[in-house]
Amino acid sequence: MVTQQFVAAPARAALFLVMTVNEGSEEVVRDVFADLSSITRSVSFRVPGDQLNCVLGLGAGLWDRMFDLPRPRGLHPFVPLDGPRHSAPSTPGDLLLHVRAHHMDVCFELSRQVMDRLRGHAVVVDETHGFKYFDERDLLGFVDGTENPEGDAAPAAVLIADEDPDYAGGSYVIVQKYRHDLEAWGALPVEEQERAIGRSKLEDVEMPDAVKPINSHVHLNTVVDADGVQRQILRDNMPFGELGTAEFGTYFIGYAADPGVIEQMLRNMFLGSPPGNTDRILDFSTAHTGTLFFTPALDFLDDVPGPRAGASADDAPADTAPVAAAPGHSAPSDAKATDLGIGGLRAATH
Ligand code: HEM
């Protein structure tokens, strides 16, 4: 089983595209799924060493429209949260493209080639171009990403395994676009900012538990299971901004084998843990989007199952031949050795 490359070294540039897919355009999307590896490979081959990496996710609504298969267990629309002080909205999204590389031109080229195929069939509802900011800092000025799982812990945190064998090697991803009030944040003394995050600003050292406030971001995002084992997710947040409009933000993106872990973190942040004890960074950061996607194994995309039973060739737009005329589907191949050239991971077989 070859997976998409969820785990990657921090990139210098990232492009996030969230799209809705027009009714009747499902077959065009199915073709793009099947061709995504080769599109990625052809762009990547032109810029060896640029670490180009593209992950594609699909939302619950599009899954139901495209496949006559049970939904992956954790796939559902993003659950909005309405807390005492802060809200996390749920916003539309059928497709996510998460493209990372060392340079934006490479991200742009890959995204453009995919969009050329989808134009007229999908509407971009959010496009964010993110950049690396000095030593992996967000626009709040703190190093972001330090406590991500490393080594074997990273695939263990993100890859679906035996708990949902039909979709093993896939993952789930939640994205949220946050805008910061940098004027208010900048008015805080650095010591106060450090207490909001739970780490020092310059050296990025975590505060001892005895002094770390319980409404700090790090405290509320340290989630343990019933056995006291910490549950981890893989984040790859990127700063973005626009000077003319004074828009300063963080694009949050978190991968997990169980989206329930990310959802628990979000409840802690927005509703509070204990209730009412909400995340201090939300006093300076507002979530404007929120969407959950399933990111299938690469085998699933390369050998994409056919249309829903009952969907006919008439459902496809006139300019597109359906890839599978017969209803039904083929099971995702679990043994296909694909030469990715983009560094796909092999799923751990637990
Ligand atoms: C405004 C958006 C956000 C910003 C600016 C931000 C920034 C940070 C920073 C600076 C750290 C400390 C360094 C590190 O370990 O990465 C951190 C840690 C963390 N964040 Fe966020 N974050 C944001 C949103 C979120 C969201 C929405 C989640 C989860 C749903 C999340 C989950 C975590 C986790 C799990 C940690 C590591 C905690 C630990 O084990 O120490 N973050 N974040």
Q: How far is residue 253's CA from residue 53's CA, in Å, rounded to a whole number?
A: 15
| Catalytic residue flag (residue 68) | no
Q: What is the pLDDT of residues 47-101, one digit of tens each?
A: 999 999 999 999 999 999 999 999 999 999 999 999 999 999 999 999 999 999 9
Q: Is the CB of 145 under 6 A from ligand 1?
A: yes
Closest-CA residue, ligand 1 atom 31, reads 221
Ligand 1 centroid distance, CA of 47 (Å): 32
The total number of structural domains that make up the chain: 1
Q: Is the CB of 138 under 6 A from ligand 1?
A: yes
Helix or strand holding residue 30 (H, E) = helix 26-46
From 144, 258, 279, 299, the catalytic residue: 144
Ligand 1 centroid distance, CA of 152 (Å): 21
Q: What is the pLDDT of residues 256-303, one digit of tens each?
A: 999 999 999 999 999 999 999 999 999 999 999 999 999 999 999 999
| Cis previous bond, 296, omega within 30 | no
Type of residue at 9: A
pLDDT at 343 over 90: no
Angle between the N-to-C axes of helices 26-46 and 104-118, in degrees from 0 to 180, rounded to the nearest 10: 150
For residue 246, being part of any structural domain is answered with yes
What is the percentage of the chain residues whose pLDDT exceeds 90?
87
Closest-CA residue, ligand 1 atom 7, reads 144
Q: Is the CB of 181 under 6 A from ligand 1?
A: no
For residue 193, being part of any structural domain is answered with no
Q: How far is residue 163's CA from residue 151's CA, in Å, rounded to a whole number?
A: 22
User: Token pair of 192, please?
Assistant: 């106060």
For residue 206, being part of any structural domain is answered with no
Closest-CA residue, ligand 1 atom 32, reads 221
Beta bridge mates, 123: 20
1-15, 215-229, 268-282, 330-344: range with lowest mean pLDDT = 330-344
pLDDT at 331 over 90: no
For residue 343, being part of any structural domain is answered with no
- The H helix count followed by the E strand count for the chain is 9, 14
User: Token pair of 308, please?
Assistant: 């829903």
For residue 213, being part of any structural domain is answered with no
Of all atoms in ligand 1, which is nearest to the CA of residue 178? 1
For residue 217, being part of any structural domain is answered with no
pLDDT (average), residues 22-29: 98
191-205, 215-229, 266-280, 316-330: range with lowest mean pLDDT = 316-330
User: Computed from CA positions of residues 200, 204, 210, 213, in that sequence, does the dihedral angle turn out positive or negative?
Assistant: positive
**Residues of the chain by 3-state class (helix, strand, coil), percent to 5:** 25, 25, 50
Total number of residues shown for the chain: 350
Q: Considering only CA atoms, give the Rg of the chain.
A: 20
Ligand 1 centroid distance, CA of 338 (Å): 34
Type of residue at 317: P
For residue 300, being part of any structural domain is answered with yes
Q: How far is residue 52's CA from residue 30's CA, in Å, rounded to a whole number?
A: 22
For residue 173, being part of any structural domain is answered with yes
Query: Are the C-beta atoms of residues 71 and 63 closer than 8 Å to each other?
Result: yes
Q: How far is residue 196's CA from residue 114's CA, in Å, rounded to a whole number?
A: 40
User: What per-residue confidence (pLDDT) applies to 310?
Assistant: 67
pLDDT (average), residues 167-184: 98
In which domain, by residue range, is 73 found?
A: 13-179+232-258+286-315
User: Token pair of 82, please?
Assistant: 């309405």
User: What per-residue confidence (pLDDT) applies to 333?
Assistant: 33
Query: Are the C-beta atoms of residues 280 and 217 closer than 8 Å to each other?
Result: yes
Q: How many CA atoms lie within 13 A of 139 on its CB side?
A: 25
Type of residue at 205: V
Q: Is the CB of 232 under 6 A from ligand 1?
A: no
Q: What is the pLDDT of residues 281-292, one digit of tens each?
A: 999 999 999 999
Query: Are the C-beta atoms of residues 239 and 12 closer than 8 Å to each other?
Result: no
